[in-house]
Chain A
Amino acid sequence: DGGITQSPKYLFRKEGQNVTLSCEQNLNHDAMYWYRQDPGQGLRLIYYSQIVNDFQKGDIAEGYSVSREKKESFPLTVTSAQKNPTAFYLCASIGVSKNIQYFGAGTRLSVL
């Protein structure tokens, strides 16, 4: 099946720990995005990448890092500098038309 796979579905972080959320797509999409959703709020853009080996900060990039070594993969690391990491994280990708973003099922991150 073609789509976007996020793993794990649930993740727990201890104080001072870095954790990495996985996002893989087999849609042959060039651009990929990471969003964060908090209760009662819309999706806020963390980082995005339009091509391999290139990425840009979104609106709330502080405390996060990404890499884009392969077209299919866009992992997000939540670092210890992110003081309020508890949220629902969503990965998306978009094709050549740049019209419609398609989303993965999300990862819920909680702090122990």
Chain B
Amino acid sequence: DQQVKQNSPSLSVQEGRISILNCDYTNSMFDYFLWYKKYPAEGPTFLISISSIKDKNEDGRFTVFLNKSAKHLSLHIVPSQPGDSAVYFCAARFYNQGGKLIFGQGTELSVKP
């Protein structure tokens, strides 16, 4: 049972345009959501997060939107840069379970010059 899903395995975007990565979840007990960026053969690096009590969080070129009624979150990258090319994972934290995370399958973003 996949509680966190990223239905697009890959996404290709032109440099300077917007990248939108999507993530759906099923469990209402998630209270915190995170996006990680990962390069091959490296550990994931934290990108941006959002609490379940908010609907938007922005950090520079990165914005995460949360739609609780739809159980959907998205990561917007504007403008996209070639260095953004990586695999992006969304993750959801269970309420009151010591920081335990459930990860989606990842979306590979390719930003073309």
Please give the residue numbers on chain A whose beta carbons come within 8 Å of chain B beta carbons, in ascending order: 4, 6, 31, 33, 35, 40-45, 48, 50, 58, 88, 90, 92, 94, 98-106, 108
Q: Which of A44, A90, A101, A105 contacts B99 (CB 8 A)?
A: A101
Does any Cβ of A come within 8 Å of B25's Cβ?
no
Please give the residue numbers on chain B whose beta carbons come within 8 Å of chain A beta carbons, in ascending order: 4, 6, 9, 32, 34, 36, 41-46, 49, 89, 91, 93, 98-106
Q: Which of A4, A48, A88, A100 contacts B100 (CB 8 A)?
A: A48
Bound together, the chains give a CA A98 to CA B95 distance in angstroms of: 10
B6 neighbours in A (Cβ, 8 Å): 42
A105 close to B49 (CB less than 8 A)? no
- B90 nearest in chain A by CB position: A42
B89 close to A43 (CB less than 8 A)? yes
Bound together, the chains give a CA A7 to CA B112 distance in angstroms of: 34
- Report whether over half of chain A's contact residues are helix, strand or loop; otherwise say mixed: strand
A105 close to B98 (CB less than 8 A)? no
Q: Which of B9, B101, B105, B106 contacts A101 (CB 8 A)?
A: B101
Bound together, the chains give a CA A65 to CA B45 distance in angstroms of: 26
Bound together, the chains give a CA A88 to CA B32 distance in angstroms of: 25
Q: Given A40-B9, A41-B105, A42-B89, answer yes or no on A31-B98 (Cβ-Cβ < 8 Å).
A: yes
Nearest-Cβ distance from residue B9 to partner chain A, whole angstroms: 7
Nearest-Cβ distance from residue B72 to partner chain A, whole angstroms: 17
Nearest-Cβ distance from residue A60 to partner chain B, whole angstroms: 13
Q: Which of A40, A48, A90, A104 contacts B98 (CB 8 A)?
A: A48
Bound together, the chains give a CA A104 to CA B44 distance in angstroms of: 8
- B101 nearest in chain A by CB position: A101
Bound together, the chains give a CA A88 to CA B44 distance in angstroms of: 12
Bound together, the chains give a CA A95 to CA B49 distance in angstroms of: 15
- A3 nearest in chain B by CB position: B43
Q: Given A42-B89, A43-B89, A94-B99, answer yes or no on A100-B43 (Cβ-Cβ < 8 Å).
A: no
Nearest-Cβ distance from residue B23 to partner chain A, whole angstroms: 11
Q: Which of A45, A50, A105 contacts B43 (CB 8 A)?
A: A105
